[in-house]
Amino acid sequence: MYNRVSQSTIGGDYKLLTNYAYKLRPNVTQSNKMGGWLDMLRSTYNWSLTDRIAQYNQQFIQGDYCDIRTKSEACPLTCFVSKNGASGEPWKDAKKDLDGKLKNPRRSAGDIQITALPQLKKARPWFGKIDSTVLQQNVKRLDTAYKNFFDGRGFPKFKNRSNFTSFTYQMGVKVQGSKIYLPKLGWMRFFKSRLIPDGFTLKSATIRKRQDGWYVSIRIEDKSIPDYVLKPIDEVKSILGFDLGITKLVHLSDRYQINNPKFSTNKKAKRTLKIRQRRVSRKVKGSKNCKKAASKLGRFHKKITDKRVTYQWDVANLIVS
């Protein structure tokens, strides 16, 4: 279990967003369904990325052209390299905004690919088994990757089974006791390691496959947070400063030091990692024995990660208290 907290302000009102993660207990049918969904969503993601790249390359070969139906200049571009580029049917009905001005009638690449999802379901009926919001969030995931690219990060990459392990629900998820309802999957049990606080509403849920099973990350929101009033400096009784170290995890201003256990670089962990990595490298690539050895190596890496996260929360609790 882990959580992530973020606080944002809209119109002067505070709201709290946080994630609670739980381990799921799906039955065999549900587990197989989610595994199949990941394969189909990955293929859709890669196809959408291929479509955007191909249409972008076509712009430099074909250039702009005159669309017969709209009798206006159009462009085959589907990616966000051009702000006014789109493919398929790039135009939509012009509507006025609140100020009475006409909105830009040209659609973005994400809007076009989301609109084409019903055609995908008609051509390939097995995609109808996937919840519609999951398919839409999959396209928006590619939009986010393009946005990150223009913010200075790497260009979106094609996904494989090792780096595409999650999908997101935007609506329809319900929690009742130690059960969670996921559209098109039904009710599913989970390990309720902590209670969801009162006053929070469920915003979305991300299902993620890990080495030791399936997990759900529930995003919850609370808009009833009062304004935070800063305490005057003359009322502050004590101040504690800390700095992250290398040999020691944290150095505090009162000369107290917190040890760094180095879960992945101690003698025992290094030896275990060396042995398990060697077993993977000696197996025939793509064989069942290779997958078993890789799974065992992945579980050990997750064990190290869980130890590190737990220790960090314990240290944070110690500093705060």
Q: Where are the domains of the chain?
A: 1-229, 261-320
pLDDT tens digits, residue range 258-272? 999 989 988 999 999
On the question of pLDDT at 240 being above 80, the answer is yes
pLDDT tens digits, residue range 1-32? 555 555 555 545 667 888 999 999 999 999 99
Are the C-beta atoms of residues 175 and 218 closer than 8 Å to each other? yes
Rg (CA), the chain: 25
Average confidence score pLDDT of the chain: 83
pLDDT tens digits, residue range 198-236? 888 889 999 999 988 999 999 998 887 766 778 888 888
Are the C-beta atoms of residues 25 and 187 closer than 8 Å to each other? no
Are the C-beta atoms of residues 279 and 293 closer than 8 Å to each other? yes
On the question of pLDDT at 57 being above 80, the answer is no
Distance CA 298, CA 315 (A): 26
Share of the chain above pLDDT 70, in %: 79
pLDDT tens digits, residue range 63-93? 555 556 656 655 544 433 333 344 445 555 5
Q: Which tokens is 191 given?
A: 């390990």
The C-alpha angle 68, 73, 78, rounded to 5 degrees, equals 100
pTM of the complete model: 0.76
Are the C-beta atoms of residues 55 and 79 closer than 8 Å to each other? yes
Within 10 A of 262 (CB to CB), how many other CB atoms are there?
A: 13
pLDDT tens digits, residue range 177-206? 899 999 999 999 999 888 888 888 889 999
pLDDT tens digits, residue range 36-56? 999 999 999 999 998 888 777
Distance CA 65, CA 73 (A): 6
The secondary structure of residue 264, as a DSSP letter, is T
Q: What is residue 232's predicted lDDT score, i.e. its pLDDT?
A: 86
Share of the chain above pLDDT 90, in %: 43
